Amino acid sequence: MTSRPLSGPAAIAALPRNRLLGEFSLWSADLANMETDLKRIEPYVDLHHIDVADARFTPGFLFFPDFVARIAKSTAKPIHVHLMVEAEIVEEQTRQFIEAGADLISVHAENGDAGLRAIALARDLGAEAGVVLRLETPVSAIDPFIDHVAFVTLLGTSIGVKGQSLSETACDRLIEARSLLRKAGREDRIILAADGGIREQTVPLLRQAGAQTVVLGSLAFGDKNLADRIAWLHGLESRVS
């Protein structure tokens, strides 16, 4: 078992803010050899990203609380669970995944009031909270959530499908989100994340548009020289002042 020095809001608050973060999607790990992959990425990952899908809000099923519990015992790094689930189960799912070891729970703005209740529950249970937007949802939908979250994640592809190209609207949406955070006086307290369409040629564009973390899949797990890949990631500069 690996010791986790920080958890919940403290773990998220301790993430570096002076460089692009490396958020690794375990959907792209070798699930049959998870322990090996976790050991390989541990020196480089800033936080683990685990997608949860109910086959209704998004195609297919993805990961379960026992999976998160296993990961939590094997890493010292924070765990970010992205709940791609319908509103009627988002609160119970929030509880289950925090009990399993999630440090950060992100719910969809499309869950509406149920999403806000899930965020309040996450914080009551000692975890941090975030909000996610589908590609087709107006960026203004984050407004009711801004005062209550530490992460805002914008999807740059259609939800729940691997291997898609980044939408041509993704960078403009990040710029718009950054403007809303600044207007609300929360820019320094919320990490802006880009998820989907993460490729070598798109990451610099997303960084320049204001992304502070990108959800890495094959770009990380498929790279034999992970140290060089992460050094490249950390060296990308933002044009957002």
Q: What is the mean pLDDT of each run of 10 residues along the chain (241 residues)?
A: 83 96 95 93 97 93 94 96 98 98 98 98 98 97 98 92 88 98 96 96 96 95 93 88 55
* Per-residue CA distances from 5 to 11, 78, 86, 152, 205 (Å): 8, 10, 33, 24, 34
For residue 169, the surrounding DSSP H or E stretch is none
Q: Which residues lie below 8 Å from residue 218, measured CB to CB, with a gap of 6+?
A: 28
72 within 8 A of 79, measured Cβ to Cβ: yes
Q: How far apart are CA 185 and CA 190, in angstroms?
A: 10
| Predicted pLDDT of residue 162 | 76
User: What pTM did the predictor assign?
Assistant: 0.95
| Predicted pLDDT of residue 238 | 83
For residue 104, the surrounding DSSP H or E stretch is strand 104-108
For residue 240, the surrounding DSSP H or E stretch is none
Q: Which residues lie below 8 Å from residue 209, measured CB to CB, with a gap of 6+?
A: 170, 171, 172, 174, 175, 178, 239, 240
Please classify residue 117 by burial: count the beta carbons closer than 10 Å to its beta carbon, then call 0-12 exposed, 13-18 middle and 19+ buried.
middle
Buried b (16+ CB within 10 A) or exposed e, 199-212: eeebbebbbbbbbb
Catalytic-residue membership of 51? yes
DSSP annotation of 137 reads S
68, two tokens: 């998160």
Catalytic-residue membership of 103? no
Angle (deg, nearest 10), helices 87-100 and 112-124: 20
DSSP annotation of 59 reads S
Q: How far apart are CA 161 and CA 27, in angstroms?
A: 11
The separation between CA 209 and the C-alpha centre of its own chain, rounded to angstroms, equals 17
Rg (CA), the chain: 16
Catalytic residue, from 30, 37, 46, 51: name it.
51
Catalytic residue, from 30, 46, 54, 195: name it.
195
